Structure 1
Amino acid sequence: MSTTNLDFARRYFRAIEQGATGEALAAFFHPEVTQVEYPNRLVPAGATRDLRALLEGAERGQKVVASQRYEVRHTVEQGDSLALEVAWSATLKVPVGSLPAGGTMRASFGVFLTFREGRILSQHNYDCFEPF
């Protein structure tokens, strides 16, 4: 069965929604993956992460987020590159800013993925959070 990069990206987001960490999450990434998170309210200086840092971040996220949802609103695909506009929401385990534990944090994400050998080689995130 052939799969498209968009199908793969949707499975990746579903895995994150289901709390994937460790090897279950690593399976989506090429071993040489890099992720760039451009400056935003949560990460004011931005960040660049390799596979290890991505997996560590997923573990840390489990302590903050009770559940999360990714809604793909728009996509553009060209060759091994995929651009996605994503609506994200998360129910918090702990207070963040003015949001209480149990509150919902929301954001609009621009996510740009490149693929190599059927897995994510690079991910660039432009995360726009609603006020919190």
Structure 2
Amino acid sequence: MVVDMDTIHALHRALEAGQSGEELRRFFTADAVTVEHPNLIRPTGARTPLDKMLTASAAGVELLSSQKYDVHSTLSSGDTTIVRLTWTGVLRTGNQLVAHIAQFVETRDGLISSIETFDCYEPF
């Protein structure tokens, strides 16, 4: 099965629109997980199941006044799509965070089953 890029783009647009928590569940399989490799925000990395992802997204909305996902390129093979993007988040304080990201997104039955992410943050 080939990855449905519409699902990945729809998730990014939903996040940009400020959706969080249960509003995002529709994009994921029940057993979805995010694997975040060590970065400036999470120095030890993390493996996060869906329920905790949704909770964290709600907390993130409280910190950010806006966020934007600029996708530069994608490459799909089977059920996996590699997405190269730049994420820009504006904190409610007005400070801006920028991360250059490579994501490995796996899907099953048209839903995201895992996201493995390498986030390279610019200095804050």
Q: TM-score, normalised by structure 2?
A: 0.95
Q: Please state if 1:128 is matched with 2:123.
A: no
TM-superposition CA deviations, 1:19-59 (whole Å, max 9, x none): 11233201001001011000000000101000111001101
> 1:27 is paired with a residue of what secondary structure?
helix
Q: 5+ unaligned residues in a row in structure 2: which ranges?
A: none
Q: Please state if 1:37 is matched with 2:29.
A: no
In the TM superposition, what is the alpha-carbon distance from 1:68 to its structure 2 partner? 0.2
Report the Cα distance in structure 1 between the residues aligned to 2:63 and 2:44, rounded to whole angstroms: 20
Aligned residue in 2 for 1:84: 83
What letter is aligned with 2:110? G
Report the Cα distance in structure 1 between the residues aligned to 2:75 and 2:5, rounded to whole angstroms: 9
Aligned residue in 2 for 1:61: 60
Q: 5+ unaligned residues in a row in structure 1: which ranges?
A: 94-100
In the TM superposition, what is the alpha-carbon distance from 1:117 to its structure 2 partner? 1.0
In the TM superposition, what is the alpha-carbon distance from 1:6 to its structure 2 partner? 1.2
Give the number of the structure with larger relative contact order, counting CA–CA contacts within 8 Å between residues 6 or more apart: 2
Report the Cα distance in structure 2 between the residues aligned to 1:108 and 1:31, rounded to whole angstroms: 28
Q: Determine what percentage of the aligned residue pairs are the same residue.
A: 34
Report the Cα distance in structure 2 between the residues aligned to 1:91 and 1:28, rounded to whole angstroms: 24
What letter is aligned with 1:66? S
> 2:34 is paired with a residue of what secondary structure?
strand
Q: TM-score, normalised by structure 1?
A: 0.89
- Matching residue within 95, 102, 105 for 1:110: 102
> 2:44 is paired with a residue of what secondary structure?
coil
In the TM superposition, what is the alpha-carbon distance from 1:71 to its structure 2 partner? 0.5
Q: What is the aligned-residue RMSD (CA, Å)?
A: 1.3
